Amino acid sequence: MKTILEKIDKNQNNTDIIREAGRILKEGGLVAFPTETVYGLGADALNEDAAKKIYAAKGRPSDNPLIIHITNMKALEKIVSEVPEKAVKVAEKYWPGPLTMIFNKSDIVPYGTTGGLDTVAVRMPVDAIAREVIDAGGGYIAAPSANTSGRPSPTTAQHVAEDLTGRVDMIVDGGAVEIGVESTILDMTVEPPMILRPGAITKEMFEEVIGEVTIDRTLIRPDSRQVPKAPGMKYRHYAPKADLTIIEGPLEKVTAEINKRAKEKSRAGYKVGIIGTEETVAEYKAGDVKCIGTRADESTIAANLFGILREFDDDQVDYIYSESFDTAGIGSAIMNRLLKAAGHHIEKLV
C-alpha cells in the first residue's frame, strides 16, 4: 500500500487535504491524524471491515477495543444506549478534551470496533485538525494510538511514519501534539464511575463535578492478580528495547545512584541512557543523557516522554535509568506510562 503524507499548515486553507482524508475514511481506508493527546490511527467506526484494518495495521490484539471519536453530543446519542446524567455533567466540563468515557453501546456499533464488548469507549477531541478529519470522515472515527502495538505512542507524524508507512493510506502531519499522553478513560457504566486509565483529566477534576470517582485497583497495585478493566492496559505497552529502571527517592541520592550504575554499565561495555530533568541533567557524568522537561511544570515531561523512549530505541542503548516523578496532576499519567515502559521495575532509595 502506498502511504500519502500530507503536511497541514494551520495558517492555511487545508480543505483539499481534509476532503481527501474524509474520502479515504468513508471508503473504508485508514488515515492517521494528530489529536491533542497523541496521533490516532483512524477508520470508520461503524464499518466493521474498516475497523478490522486498524488491528491488522497495528498488529493489535483483537480483544483490545477501539475508542470512537466524535465532535458533538448528538453523535454520542447515536452510538450509546443511554447517556447517564453524570456523563452529561462531565461532558459539559471536559469535552471536547483529553477524556474518553465508557458507555453501554447501541446496536449500530459493530462488535469489531468494541473488541466483542457491549460497552463502547467515546472521546470528543478538541484539536482542530482532528475535528475536521472526524467530520469529513462521517463523524464516527475509531482511532487508537497510531503506533505499532507495543511501541511508544506517537507524538509526531515522523513517529507514525516510522511504524505505519506502507500500512495506512494517509498520514496527516499537523506537527507535534500538545499533551503527549493518551486520554483519561472514565467508565460511566459503573457506580461510582471508575478511572480505567490516568490522563490529563484527574480524579480530583472529576470529583469537583460529580462527587466520588474510584480508580481501577490494578493501576495502583499492578501485581494484584486481577485483570485491568480496560483490556488494553494488560499489555506491556510503551516498551523501549532497552532495560529501563526507575530510581525513586531524594533527588541528590537518585542522581548519585544513577551516576554509579551508569558508570558500572559503561565500564562493562554497555550503552547507557539517562532520563533527567532541567533541574538535574548537569549532574550526570556519563551516558546518553536526555532532558525530559522541568519538574516545575510536569506537562513538559508528559509531552516529551514517548519521544524520548523512541530516541533511546534509535540510539540502541542497552540500559536506561530514569528519575521518578510526582504523581499529582498529570504526574499520575506520566508515572503510569513510565512504570509500564519499565515493566514495573522501580527501586526506592531512602
From the CB of 151, what's the least distance to Mg ion, in Å? 9
From the CB of 37, what's the least distance to ligand AMP, in Å? 8
Whether a cis peptide bond, with omega within 30° of 0, leads into 193 is no
> From Mg ion, ligand AMP, none, which one binds at residue 64 (CB under 5 to 8 Å depending on kind)?
ligand AMP
Q: Given the rule CB under 6 A, which residues bind ligand AMP?
A: 64-65, 67, 102, 114, 117, 119-121, 144-145, 182, 185, 196-197, 229-233
Going by the annotation, the residues of the binding site for L-threonine are: 37, 69, 123, 143, 183
The residue length of the chain stands at 350
Neighbouring residues of 146: CB distance < 8 A, sequence distance ≥ 6: 32, 38, 39, 40, 41, 58, 153, 154, 159, 160, 163, 164, 168, 171
Task: Between 119 and 266, name the residue whose CB sits nearer to ligand AMP.
Answer: 119
Strand spans (E) along 57-213: 67-69, 99-104, 119-123, 141-142, 170-173, 184-187, 194-197
> From ligand AMP, Mg ion, none, which one binds at residue 68 (CB under 5 to 8 Å depending on kind)?
none
From the CB of 71, what's the least distance to ligand AMP, in Å? 17
> From ligand AMP, Mg ion, none, which one binds at residue 121 (CB under 5 to 8 Å depending on kind)?
ligand AMP
Q: Which of 98, 8, 33, 145 is nearest to 299 (CA)?
A: 98
Q: Given the rule CB under 5 A, which residues bind Mg ion?
A: 145
> From ligand AMP, Mg ion, none, which one binds at residue 126 (CB under 5 to 8 Å depending on kind)?
none
Quote the CA–CA distance of 243 and 261 in Å, as a whole number. 13
Task: Between 162 and 347, name the residue whose CB sits nearer to ligand AMP.
Answer: 162
Task: Between 117 and 251, name the residue whose CB sits nearer to ligand AMP.
Answer: 117
What H or E segment, with its residue span, contains residue 321? Answer: strand 319-323
Task: Between 55 and 319, name the residue whose CB sits nearer to ligand AMP.
Answer: 55
Q: Which of 11, 275, 64, 35 is nearest to 133 (CA)?
A: 35
Task: Between 111 and 207, name the residue whose CB sits nearer to ligand AMP.
Answer: 111
> From ligand AMP, Mg ion, none, which one binds at residue 171 (CB under 5 to 8 Å depending on kind)?
none
- The conformation of residue 153, written as its DSSP 8-state character, comes to P
